[in-house]
Structure formats: C-alpha cells, structure tokens
Structure 1
Amino acid sequence: MLEISNLNVYYGESHTIRNVSLSLSDSEAVAIMGRNGMGKTTLLKSIIGMLPTRTGTISLNGAAMQHRPSYERVHEGLAFVPQGRMIFPFLTVKENILTGMERSRSKTVPEYIYRFFPVLKEMESRRGGNLSGGQQQMLAIARALVSNPKVLILDEPTEGIQPSIIKELARTLTALRQERHFSILVSEQVLSFALEVADRFLVIDRGEIVHEKLKDAVDIEEIRAFLTV
C-alpha cells in the first residue's frame, strides 16, 4: 500500500528526517509517536507533499509520489488532517465537508458521514468557527474522508480535545476504518488514543525511527519512556 524508503527531509540545512523507512498495509493503522520536535509533523507533511524530500521514495500502490504536488497525492488516495484542523471558519459545516468533494462536484454529503458524526448533521448550517475543538476535529476528518482516501493521515488529532471526546473519536475512527477499508497513519502523543486506534507503533526520535512494535507486543512503560522529556 504505502511504502516510504530512506526518506530524508531538510529545513534549510537542518537535517530533520533521517533515512526513515516504513510501510503501511491495506486497512492497517500505524501510530507514529514521539516527543514534540522529534519530526512527527515534518514526516507527515513530507508524505503528503507539503514539504519537499531531499532523497528517498514515497509510493502508493506502487506509484511514485515523492515528486508529485500535494493535490495529485490527494487524487491518488492520500488524505491529510493537519495539526490544528485548518477548517474554514466562515463556511458552514456542510460547506466545509463539500470542499473535500470538489472532484465529484456533488452537493450531497455522503450518508455515512452523518451516521458516524451525527453532531455534524445537527450543526450542518452552523459556521465551522463556532464549533468546539472536538467538533472541529470531527469536521476536519469528515472533510478528508469524503475524498474516499486509501490512506488517512492524521497529525496530532487529539490536540486541544477533552478526554471524553478523545475516546469517542478513537472508537469512531476504528469503526470507520473497518467499514470503509482505508489505512490510517497517525502522529500522536496521547498513548491511550494510539492504543485504541493503532495496530502497530513506531517511535521517532530526532528524525529517526528508533522503536517499532505490534500492538500485542507493546510495552506501555517502554513507550512512555520515549515520550518523557
């Protein structure tokens, strides 16, 4: 499905992602964990095309992605929910969702979106900027999902969200993945959320993958030690 090989990313002359290789299978969920500033966001932005790669390859179902612009990567099946959500605050909930359906030019929100996120149906005429943080995160995910991605990439989705909503979001993402058959690549620091969502765990430290475990083999204290400053 998604294959990353020997990826190197620079900010100016600062070498921020160092020879990262990872794979993501069909319908698999992988969590990339690490402290702030260790390269999680940089890695995800390079995969979606918001940051250029110096060397290395990114492929989706065998098709090379590393030199394609972001919009082409989205058309091929990558969808990105950025840190901070980046919804359109002056558009309504429905209008925000429909921006993710630009290619289809449909004016109808797919049934499954409101089934999994009923609060968005209730608030579909409300401006996005008037939603709570958790509701905005649901909206950002819904906007990404209507492009029918093969891979949903989420950057720190629990940031600024209250614990009860975090649990609900984790359950919803798991149910959506099972029904819609997409893969998930998520950067995260909240271990409880990652344990609910992911099948496999990677830890990034100073731009390098330093630890990898399947969910069944995860040592929670070992992961916490990587996340401790």
Structure 2
Amino acid sequence: MLTVKNLHVAYGQSKVIRDVSFHVNAGESLAIMGRNGMGKSTLLKSLIGMIPSQSGSIDIEGIPLAKLDSYQRVEHGLAFVPQGRMVFPFLTIEENIMTGAETSGYTKVPDYIYRFFPVLEEMKYRKAGNLSGGQQQMLAISRALISDPKVLILDEPTEGIQPSIIKELARTLNQLRRERQFSIVVSEQVLSFALELSDRFLVIDRGQIVHEEARETINQEKIRSFLTV
C-alpha cells in the first residue's frame, strides 16, 4: 500500500529524517512513536508533501509521490490530520468538513461520517471555534475522511484531548478503517492509545527508526523506555 524507502529530510543544513524506510499494508495501522523532537511530525509532513524530502521515495500502490504537491498526493489517496487539528474556526462544522471534498466529488457530508461522529451532526451549523478539543479532532478527522483516503495520516491525535475520550477515539478509528478499508499511519506518544489503534509500532529517535515490534509480541516496557527522557 504505502512504501517509504531511504527517506532523508532536512531543515536547511540540519538533517531531521535520516534514511527512514517502512511499509504499510492495506488495512494496517502503523504507529510511529518517539519523544518530542525526534522527527515524528517532520516525517508525517514529508509524507503528505508539506515538507520536501531531500532524497528517497514515497510510493502508494506503486505510484511515486515524492515529487508531487500535497494536493496531488491527496488525489492519489493520502489524507492528513495535522497536529493541533487546524480547523477553520469561523466556518461551521459542515463547512469545515466540505473543504476536504474536492477530490472525492461529494456535494454533501456522507452519512457514514455523521454515523461515526453523531455529535458533529447535532452541531453541524455551529462554528468550529466553539468546539472542545475532542470535538475539533473528530472534525479534523472527518474533513480528511471525506476525501476517501487509502491511507489516513494522523499527527499526535490525542494532544489536548480529555483522557476519557482517547480510548473511544481509538475504537472509532478502528471501526472506520475496517468499514472504509483504509490504512492508518499515526505519530503518538500515548502508548495506551497506540496499543488500542495500531497493529505495528516503529520507534523513531533522532530521525532514525531504531526499533520495530508487532502488537502481538510487543514489549511495552521497552517501548516506554524510548518515550521517557
């Protein structure tokens, strides 16, 4: 599905991502974990094209993406939910969702989105800036999903969300990926959320992948050791 090979990303002369390679299978959820400043967000932004890569390849179903603009990558099946959500505060919930519909051709919010996030339908005419952090995250995910992605990329989705909502969010994303048949790449520091959502775990440290484990055999203490200062 999504294949990344020998990816290098830099800010000026400072290399942030160093020779990163990984593969995401169809329907799989992959967690990229690590401490702050280790390159998680930079890696995901490079996948969607917000930050250019110096070298290496990014392919989806064999189609090379590394030289394409962000909107072209969305057309080929990537969708991105940024850290901090970045909703349009003065647009309504419904207007926010529809900003992501250009590549899919939807003329209204599809029923399945409101089925999975009923609170958004109840408040669809409310301005997005008035929503809680958890509700804004649901909105940002819905805006990405309306493009009918093959791979949904989530950057720190639990940031600023109440603990009571985090587990439910993971369950909803799992149900969505099974029903809508997309893969997930998520950067995360909250191990409990990643365990609920992900099938496989990569740990990034100083821009390099230093550890990989499947959920079935995961050593939680070892993963935690990479997340603590």
The TM tier, using the shorter chain, reads over 0.9
**Cα separation, 2, equivalents of 1:107 and 1:43:** 33
- Can you list the C-alpha shifts for 1:47-94, whole angstroms capped at 9, x where unaligned? 100011111000000010000000000000000000000111000000
**Following TM superposition, where does structure 1 have runs of at least 4 consecutive aligned residues deviating by more than 3 angstroms?**
103-107
Structure 2 match to 1:113:
113
TM-score (norm 2): 0.99
Contact 2:5 2:21 in 1 (8 A): yes
Q: Does 1:83 align with 2:76?
A: no
**Cα separation, 1, equivalents of 2:106 and 2:148:** 13
- Can you list the C-alpha shifts for 1:199-228, whole angstroms capped at 9, x where unaligned? 000000000000000001111110000000
- Can you list the C-alpha shifts for 1:80-131, whole angstroms capped at 9, x where unaligned? 0000001110000000011111235543110100000000001100000000
User: 1:46 is paired with a residue of what secondary structure?
Assistant: helix
**Cα separation, 1, equivalents of 2:70 and 2:152:** 14
TM-score (norm 1): 0.99
User: 1:124 is paired with a residue of what secondary structure?
Assistant: coil
Percent identity of equivalent pairs: 68
User: 1:112 is paired with a residue of what secondary structure?
Assistant: helix
* 1:1-229 map, 5 Å: 1-229=1-229
**Cα separation, 1, equivalents of 2:96 and 2:71:** 17
For these two proteins, the number of residue pairs brought into alignment is: 229
Contact 2:104 2:146 in 1 (8 A): no
What's the C-alpha RMSD, in Å, of the aligned pairs?
0.7
Identify unmatched segments of 5+ residues in structure 2: none
**Cα separation, 2, equivalents of 1:123 and 1:169:** 18
User: 2:225 is paired with a residue of what secondary structure?
Assistant: helix
**Cα separation, 1, equivalents of 2:16 and 2:8:** 8
Task: Report the AA paired with residue 143 of structure 1.
Answer: R
- Can you list the C-alpha shifts for 1:5-52, whole angstroms capped at 9, x where unaligned? 000000000010000000000000000000000000000000100011
Q: CA deviation at 1:194?
A: 0.1
